[in-house]
Homo-oligomer: A and B are copies of this chain.
Amino acid sequence: MSDVGIAPIPQPGLDELIRRALAEDAPWGDVTSETFLPASARASAVLVAREPGVLSGVGVFARTMELVDAATVATAELTDGASFAAGAVLARVEGPARAVLRAERVALNLVQRMSGIATLTASYVEAVAGTSARVVDTRKTTPGLRALERYAVRCGGGGNHRHSLSDAVLAKDNHLAVLQAAGVDLHTAIVEARRRLGHTVHLEVEVDREDQIEPVVSAGVDTIMLDNFGPERLRAGVAAVAGRALVEASGGVTLETVRAIAETGVDLVSVGALTHSARGLDLGLDLEVSAGGGGRE
């Protein structure tokens, strides 16, 4: 499924991110495992869902296990993007007990956060099903985890907005205020910007008043963001843009309001909550000790 539907997690830096997280969690060793567990003990364990959700980060979970000790083998039972019920087994791990328990918390922290985002995203996506609107993320991500969190949004069926300040223009209210204070006309500024920007750079401008729509759209933007317009004004905005640019709705989007917003005909609904307010999904690692049993039954 990830073959066709979900682009894989970007590799560059992933190992470094995991190693940094592991070092943060054990800067000079895992004193519990080293003290209590025989070096020769092995453990097998399952990653289990304690509540239903959408999976994201099972590969990150597995990679974390492997980076602690190459002798650990982790196998996914489901692929990212899959929905699961409470109790579902998501992955299996087998390796030296000290390594598995030393990696446990970091591996869980990552997959729980990513699956939390995917699950929340999926609920928004489901809420707008059948409309022409796409639910997209924002730059309100956790510092250091943006690539993973954007991937999690894709796992939940959402779309990605720009990745960073470098790859697309989004002139927001604060930019417009500076322009205005400097006495620069917005329409002119956009025309000039278009001329100077690289041809691959997407150009989007945020407006919060109807009278800004025409000057912005006629200057040639790729997307216009209508901020805090509400369903009624959004519908009028979509009509005013008249297909000359993509229309993005933002502001005041909740699971309760998103469908009404999507039904106005906007192309995009951006939802900061997907990343800044998702809670970690409740996943756990249940040990199945080889020699003699035990575990968490």
Residues A166 and B109 in contact, CB atoms below 8 Å apart: no
Complex-state Cα separation, A294 to B181, whole angstroms:
6
Most buried by B among A3, A19, A109, A279: A109
**Cβ B145 vs Cβ A142 within 8 A:** yes
* In the complex, A130 has a CB within 8 A of chain B: no
A203, B108: Cα distance in complex, Å? 23
Indicate whether A193 reaches chain B with its CB closer than 8 angstroms: yes
B-facing mask of A163-184, CB < 8 A → 1, else 0?
Answer: 1111111111111111111111
Name the B residues within 8 Å of A104 (CB-CB). Answer: 174
Q: State whether the Cβ of A134 lies closer than 8 Å to any Cβ in chain B.
A: yes
Picked from B29, B204, B289, the residue with its CB within 8 Å of the CB of A181 is B289
- B-side contacts of A199, CB under 8 Å: 134, 136, 159, 161, 202, 222-223, 246, 267-268
Which of A20-28, A211-219, A236-244 participates in binding chain B? A20-28
Residues from chain B with Cβ under 8 Å of A296 in the complex: 173-174, 177
Of the residues B22, B168, B183, contact of A292 by C-beta under 8 Å: B183
Given contacts A23-B13, A41-B181, A200-B162, contact A175 B28 (CB under 8 A): no
Instruction: Please determine whether A280 and B276 come into contact, CB atoms closer than 8 angstroms.
Output: yes
- Binary contact readout A33-66 vs B (1 if CB under 8 angstroms, 0 otherwise): 1111111110101000000000000000000000
A197 interfacial by beta-carbon distance below 8 Å = yes
Q: Contact at B178–A101, with CB atoms within 8 Å?
A: yes
* With A33-B175, A167-B163, A196-B35 as contacts: A143 and B21 at CB distance below 8 Å: yes
Give the contacts of A144-164 with B (CB-CB under 8 A): 144-147, 150, 159-164
Residues in chain A within 8 A of chain B (CB atoms): 2-5, 7-13, 17-41, 43, 45, 68, 97, 101-102, 104-106, 108-110, 112-113, 134, 136, 139-147, 150, 159-184, 189, 193, 196-202, 204, 222-223, 246, 267-268, 273, 276-280, 285, 287, 289-296
Q: Knowing that A12-B23, A180-B289 touch, tell me 6 more A-B residue pairs with CB under 8 angstroms.
A: A3-B40, A12-B26, A20-B144, A97-B178, A109-B143, A144-B145
